[in-house]
Amino acid sequence: MSVPLQWMRPDAPPMLALDEVHVWRFDLDEMIPDGLALERRLSAEERERARRFRFTRDRERYLAGRAALRGILAGYVGARPETLRFVRAPQGKPALLAAPEGLEFNLTHADWCAVVAVAQGRRVGVDVEGIRLGHSGMDVARRFFARAEVDTLLAAPPEERAATFVRCWTRKEAYVKARGDGLSLTLQHFEVPLATGATRALASSLEDPAEVERWSLRELVPAPRHLGALVVEGEDFDLRAWEWTPAERDISAAS
């Protein structure tokens, strides 16, 4: 069984070694009262996208997530959050302009719970979902999961099916996000392991059997009744887990 992560709050932006992967967790709703200060960190494009959200809570959480991502990445590159510029690869995965070569990151959230993964010189993908008790997800599983994954879900005790479904979904999503292929990757064409302590991201791949050896997995529990997955290119890395809160002086600097 894997050892639970110790989520720490750093006194200063941590250094990111080549043999490390960092994950950050934060509560989007805790940041919403600072919305005006945080929004000033964002680009015009981000603010315009925020205005397209139909519901206020979704808009506020989007703004909080983008501001937090900027705050986290700013610590690694030694810049002010509002000066960071992002671009998107052809398949849609974002990258940071003028960043140290090889800096990789990924952001995910489920309702208020958000996680960012950061690495140097290796691709990363992260996904988190809330566990809804009594929701087995069988309709979704039959449509998107590999046959062996559906069989494992059907064999799970009824009281464990909701968590088993989320475990499968987050691992598949984290792998897709790490690859950066977007919708071009068919979910049924690869199988993820569903054991809680699994460290290989894939059990099999119809597209390329060698993929099984390329990707590592770590299960994340960033909040109660939430489950996440981190997929990392390669192996032999140390995982460090951090808590992120916008420091009062940091928010005022963007005002």
Q: How many domains does the chain have?
A: 1
Does residue 255 form part of some domain?
Answer: no
Does residue 253 form part of some domain?
Answer: no
User: The CATH number of the domain where 104 resides is what?
Assistant: 3.90.470.20
The CA distances from residue 141 to 126, 131, 148, 179, in Å, are: 20, 15, 11, 21
Does residue 57 form part of some domain?
Answer: yes
pTM of the model: 0.93
Output the tens digit of pLDDT for each of the chain's 255 residues.
Answer: 455 789 999 988 999 999 999 999 999 999 888 777 788 889 999 999 999 999 999 999 999 999 999 999 999 999 999 999 998 877 778 889 877 778 999 999 999 999 999 999 999 999 999 999 888 899 999 999 999 999 999 999 999 999 999 999 999 999 999 999 876 789 999 999 999 999 999 999 999 999 999 999 999 999 999 999 999 999 999 999 999 987 643 543 443
Domain that holds residue 121: 1-248
Does residue 214 form part of some domain?
Answer: yes
Closest to 108 (Cα-Cα) out of 177, 157, 156: 177
